[in-house]
Chain A
Amino acid sequence: MSSPALADRPPARRPSAAWLAVGAFLVWSVEEAGVSPGALFSAESARGLSRLLRGLLPLDLSPDFLAVVGGAVLRTVCIGLAGTALAVVLAVPLGLLATPTLFRPGTMAAGDGPLAWLLLGAHLVARALLRIFRAVPELLWALLFVVAVGLGPRAGALALAVSYAGVLGRVYADLLEDVDPGPAEMLAASGARRAPVVLFALVPQALPGLLGYTVYSLECAIRSAAVLGFVGAGGIGQELQLSMRLFEYGQVSTLLLALLGVMLAGEAVSGLMRRATRSARAGGLPSAPRWLRLLAPAAVLGSLWGSDLLGRADVGLLRRMGRFAAQLLPPDLSPAFLRSLPVPLLQTLAVAGAGTLLGVLVGAALAPLASRGLMLRPRGAPGRADLGGVLAAAVHLGTRATLAVLRGIPEMLWVLVCIVAVGFGPFAGVLALGLHTGGVLGKLWAEALDEVGPGPLEVLDAAGASAAVRSLWGAWPQARPLVASYGLLRWEFNLRVSALVGFVGGGGLGLRLYNAVQLGFHQQVCTMVLLILGLVTLSDGLSSALRRSWLTSPGVRPEPGPGPIASRLSIAARGLSS
Chain B
Amino acid sequence: MTFSLDGVRRRFLGRTGPVAALDGVSLEVAPGERVVVLGPSGAGKTTLFGILNTTVRPSEGQVRFEGEAVEALSRRSLRAVRRRIGTVFQQPRLVPSLTVLQNALLGRSGHWSTARALGAWIRPAREDRERVEAALESVGLLHRLGARADELSGGEQQRVAIARVLVQEPSAVLADEPFSSLDPALRDGMAELLLGVAARGRTLVAVMHDVGFALRHFPRVVGLRAGRIAFDLPSAQVTPESLERLYPRAAPGTPARKGGDAADVLACAR
Residues of A within 8 A of B (CB): 3-5, 8-10, 377-378, 380-384, 386, 388-389, 453, 455-456, 458-466, 468-470, 472-474, 477-478, 480, 555-557
Contact = CB atoms under 8 A, between A and B. Distances in A.
B70 A378 contact: no
B207 interface: no
A464 B87 contact: no
Nearest to B103: A456
Interface string B109-127: 1111110011011000000
Nearest to B117: A469
Given A382-B70, A463-B83, A8 B145 contact: yes
Interface stretch (B50-58, B217-225, B246-254, B255-263): B50-58
> Which residue among B75, B87, B118 has the maximum number of chain A CB atoms within 10 Å of its CB?
B75
A377 B54 CA distance: 13
Given A466-B112, A468-B114, A478 B96 contact: yes
Contact of A10 (B55, B91, B99): B99
A453 B96 CA distance: 10
Contacts of A386: 74-75
A5 B56 contact: no
Contact of B58 (A8, A378, A382, A453): A382
B117 A472 contact: yes
B148 A555 contact: yes
- The binding surface of chain B is classed by DSSP as helix
Interface string B55-83: 11110000100000011111111111111
Interface of B: 53-58, 63, 70-83, 85-87, 89, 91, 93-99, 102, 106-107, 109-114, 117-118, 120-121, 133, 136, 142-146, 148, 150-151, 161, 164, 168
Given A477-B96, A478-B96, 17 more contacts: A5-B145, A380-B55, A381-B55, A382-B56, A382-B57, A382-B78, A384-B73, A453-B96, A458-B93, A459-B106, A462-B87, A463-B83, A464-B78, A464-B111, A465-B106, A469-B117, A473-B106
Nearest to A460: B109
A464 B142 CA distance: 26
Contact of A9 (B72, B81, B136, B145): B145
A383 B71 contact: yes
Contacts of B113: 466
Nearest to A480: B97
A421 B31 CA distance: 66
Contacts of A382: 54, 56-58, 63, 70-71, 73, 78
B95 A380 contact: no
A478 B79 contact: no
Contacts of A460: 106, 109
A458 B46 CA distance: 14
Contacts of A9: 145-146
A477 B118 contact: no
A9 B73 CA distance: 41
Contacts of A377: 75
Contact of A5 (B76, B78, B142): B142
Closest 4 CB pairs of A and B: A464-B110, A455-B93, A464-B82, A10-B146
Contacts of B133: 3, 5
Contact of B56 (A8, A380, A464, A557): A380
Contacts of B109: 460, 463-465, 469-470, 473
A512 B69 CA distance: 71
Given A5-B145, A386-B75, A462-B82, A469 B91 contact: no
6 contacts: A384-B71, A461-B55, A463-B87, A463-B107, A465-B79, A480-B97
Nearest to A387: B74
A556 B150 contact: yes
A466 B74 contact: no
Contacts of A389: 75
A42 B255 CA distance: 82
A456 B148 contact: no
B55 A378 contact: yes
B56 A381 contact: yes
B142 A473 contact: no
A468 B117 contact: yes
B63 A8 contact: no
A478 B95 contact: yes
Nearest to B79: A464
A8 B136 CA distance: 13
Given A381-B55, A386-B74, A472-B117, A455 B145 contact: no
B87 A459 contact: yes
B168 A463 contact: yes
> Which residue among A9, A453, A462, A477 has the maximum number of chain B CB atoms within 10 Å of its CB?
A462
Contact of B114 (A10, A456, A466): A466
A462 B88 CA distance: 10
A461 B161 CA distance: 15
A466 B112 CA distance: 8
B159 to A, nearest CB: 15
B164 to A, nearest CB: 8
A477 to B, nearest CB: 5
Contacts of A458: 55, 89, 93
Given A5-B145, A466-B114, A383 B75 contact: yes
A383 B117 contact: no
B112 A465 contact: yes
Contacts of A8: 142-146
A411 B105 CA distance: 44
Contact of A463 (B76, B91, B106, B143): B106
Contacts of B93: 455-456, 458-459
Contacts of A468: 114, 117
B134 to A, nearest CB: 10
A463 B87 CA distance: 7
B98 A477 contact: yes
Given A477-B98, A555-B150, A384 B74 contact: yes
Nearest to B107: A463
A363 B121 CA distance: 21
B38 to A, nearest CB: 22
A462 B85 contact: yes
B48 to A, nearest CB: 14
A71 to B, nearest CB: 49
A33 to B, nearest CB: 30
Contacts of B117: 468-469, 472-473
A465 B187 CA distance: 30
Given A5-B133, A557-B150, A469 B112 contact: yes
B53 to A, nearest CB: 5
Nearest to B126: A1
> Which residue among A3, A465, A468 has the maximum number of chain B CB atoms within 10 Å of its CB?
A465
Contacts of B53: 462
A235 to B, nearest CB: 45
Nearest to B174: A462
B110 to A, nearest CB: 3
A383 B95 contact: no
A463 B81 CA distance: 9
